Amino acid sequence: MRKANGRRPVFTFIDLFSGIGGFRMALEKNGGECLHFSEISSDAITAYCANSNEPIEKNLGDITKIKELPKHNILTAGVPCQSWSIAGRNLGFDDDRGQLWNDTIFLLNQSKPDAFIFENVKGLVDPRNKKALSYILDRIKEAGYFANYYVLNSFDYGVPQNRIRIYIIGFKDKTFADKFKIPKPLDKKIKLADILSDFKASDVSQQIIETENEMPRNLFGEIITQKSMSLSTSNGLNDYFLFNDLRNGHSTIHSWDIIETTERQKKICYLLLKNRRKSAYGDLDGNPLSLEHFQSLDNTITEKELDELVALKILKKEHYSFNIDSTKINELTEEESLLLNLCENNVLIMDKLKMNREVKVKKISISKTILPLIEQGILISNEERYDFKNTKISTGLYGVNRVFLPTSNIFPTLVASDTNDFVTTKVINAKNEEDHKKQFVEQVYKKENYRRITKEEACMIQGFPKDYVLPENRARWMKLVGNSVSVPVIEVLCKAILDTGIFDTKKEIKTDRPKIHNLVER
């Protein structure tokens, strides 16, 4: 029998939705012994067993098939953030299986551990999910537990990652629930430079000192800092660059900063950027502008100039409204009928389609639906407008969303699907915002002096050892790491549970376990 740190276990635990072992690593560091884990992803199971030296027979498999759990002290679960309903809640614990939160609480009620830690995405505390969260807490209370939830950022507890999650902590005994205190954030934070494999963190400190010596100061000698999108503003300059055409700022890189353009073309782009969110041009948060709109802002702008920006793939030309020729209507699909019914005075406006709730609920592709109507002559364009070609901020530009400098305190949330976020190890010693951006474009972007984070760095960003065993394929290991909990956060939560004294008076922990075949449905 394996003992935590070679000693007899302080407590035992069961690891539901175990992933690659984040909960396990954290609890074992606090003296816990894992009795069983539950996971269905083959990659996650392989990684879990390889890194914990655990036989695959300890896996209970699909949680929906588990009938009961053996006696244990702490139950952990990183419940997947799937959509679920609260229908049937009056049927009781024996009848509400099949929804993963319900399955988790069913096993909590059945096994009655002393405490539990459940983790989920921050969206669970969104006001739109108020009923869902209340339902979960009510079910936990019905199972006989005193619980509360906490919204924590992993950055505050030992990893250089902006990862906000909800943690629900519960106790069977109210005495210990009342004693539980959420740990205070760490004073000394881990920075991005601390985990970059090809960079010395000491170089960042020197760079900040050199830059601060040249930064403008007020009458009291204090650095005049600028409004920053970043969490790190020690030198007054943002520590990452954002690639998109829809926002502006001294650390925003636009397509016209990358593509060779004239000052005149840049001016036209900024004119669109400045005005596209004004209500005078439409009801959406961002609206395309017609040639007439541009000319009302600057009467020297020509259609040829706008079309040249379209040719450069900075702008795109799109249909904004249509007249409807009802004489050509024959058979229509359900989606086509819905869109045509949204016309007013025989005119169909794109804004109305994009804002319509029924179109959103039914997930109708507007562009695909109207194309056949245009080809059949049912829809006849009566107004064209110009917008930026790249209108999805999260996608970025040309495969790049953000590039983080080594001076950054923090990296964005790691997600299973990966992102277009990059890092550079190039240190920029800039005198002002304009110089900062110019140096970045010339020294980092144009020279391709940036890269994605490595597998080793991703592990450390989540609090795992850099040599944690994972698949070689990027998409596979990124999915595993992105779905994991941040190990240091679970560590401090487990320690806080132990600090209540919950296991101080318990007799020796028994680790006799029923055989697995008695626990799982066949």
Among the three residues 430, 453, 476, which one is the final residue of a domain in this structure?
A: 453
Residues 408, 384 share a domain: no
Query: Quick one: which of 161, 199, 189, 258 has its CA closest to 427?
Result: 199
pLDDT score of 393:
85
154 and 233 inside one domain: no
Mean per-residue pLDDT for 346-373? 91
Tell which wins on pLDDT, 513 or 99: 99
352 in the same domain as 268 = yes
| pLDDT at residue number 505 | 67
Q: Which pLDDT score is estimated for 7?
A: 64
Are 157 and 185 within 8 A, CB to CB?
yes
Q: Identify whether residues 25 and 172 lie together within a single domain.
A: yes
User: CB neighbours (10 Å) of residue 181?
Assistant: 9
Query: Do 265 and 413 fall within a single domain?
Result: no
Pure H helices in 190-302: 201-214, 255-258, 263-275, 291-297
81 is catalytic: yes
Tens of pLDDT, residue by residue over 332-352, are 999 999 999 999 889 999 988
Indicate which residue of 34, 81, 269, 343 is catalytic: 81
In a domain, 461, yes or no: no
* Domain termination site, one of 368, 393, 418: 393
- As a dihedral over the C-alpha atoms of residue 79, residue 85, residue 86, residue 91, rounded to 10 degrees, the angle is -90
Could you give the CA distance from residue 12 to residue 509 in angstroms, rounded to a whole number? 7
> 455 is written with which tokens?
């597998």
Same domain as 382, residue 416:
no
What was the pLDDT predicted at 132? 86
Residues 443 and 407 reside in one and the same domain: yes
Whether residue 159 is found in the same domain as residue 230: no
CATH no. for residue 489?
Answer: 3.40.50.150
What percentage of the chain carries pLDDT values higher than 70?
Answer: 85
63 contacts 17 by C-beta, under 8 angstroms? yes
Cα–Cα distance for residue pair 170/147, rounded to 1 Å = 4
What is d(CA 367, CA 379) in angstroms, rounded to the nearest whole number? 13
Query: In this structure, is residue 280 part of a structural domain?
Result: yes
The answer to whether residue 350 is domain-embedded is yes
Is residue 460 one of the residues assigned to a domain?
A: no
pLDDT exceeds cutoff 80 at 358: yes
Contact 62, 55 (CB under 8 A): no
Write out the two tokens for 472.
Answer: 């070689």
Residue 202, pLDDT score: 64
Is 80 exceeded by the pLDDT of residue 407?
yes
Q: Is 224 exposed, middle or buried (0-12, 13-18, 19+ CB in 10 A)?
A: exposed
Question: For residue 240, is it within any domain?
Answer: yes
Sorted by sequence, the CB contacts under 8 Å of residue 378 that are 6+ apart come out as 324, 325, 326, 328, 329, 340
- Name the β-bridge partners of 322: 348, 381
Residues 180 and 167 in one domain: yes
Residue 459 lies in a domain: no
Residue 47 lies in a domain: yes
Within this chain, do residues 89 and 226 fall inside the same structural domain, yes or no? no
One domain, residues 280 and 262: yes
pLDDT digits (tens, 9 = 90+) for 266-302: 999 999 999 999 999 998 989 999 999 999 999 999 9
Structure-token match 């989920």, residue found: 120
Do 196 and 167 contact (CB within 8 A), yes or no? no
177-226 pLDDT per residue, tens:
999 999 999 998 888 999 998 887 666 554 544 444 444 444 444 444 44
Q: Which domain holds residue 99?
A: 4-188+467-518
Arithmetic mean of pLDDT over the chain: 87
Using alpha carbons, list the distances in angstroms from residue 389 to 246, 315, 364: 10, 5, 21
How far apart CA 278 and CA 393 sit, in angstroms, is 18
Look at residue 512 and tell me if it is in a domain.
Answer: yes
Say how many Å lie between the first and final Cα of the chain, rounded. Answer: 27
Q: What is the mean pLDDT of residues 451-462?
A: 97
Length of the chain: 522
The two structure tokens encoding residue 57: 């027979």
Backbone Cα Rg of the chain: 28
Judge contact between 503 and 495, C-beta under 8 A. Answer: no
406 touches 193 (CB < 8 A)? yes
476 and 513 together in one domain: yes
Residue 226: the pLDDT is: 41
- Compute CA distances 418 → 81, 165, 422, 477, whole Å: 17, 18, 11, 10
Of the listed ranges 75-84, 179-188, 226-235, 429-438, the one predicted with least confidence: 226-235
Number of domains in the chain: 3
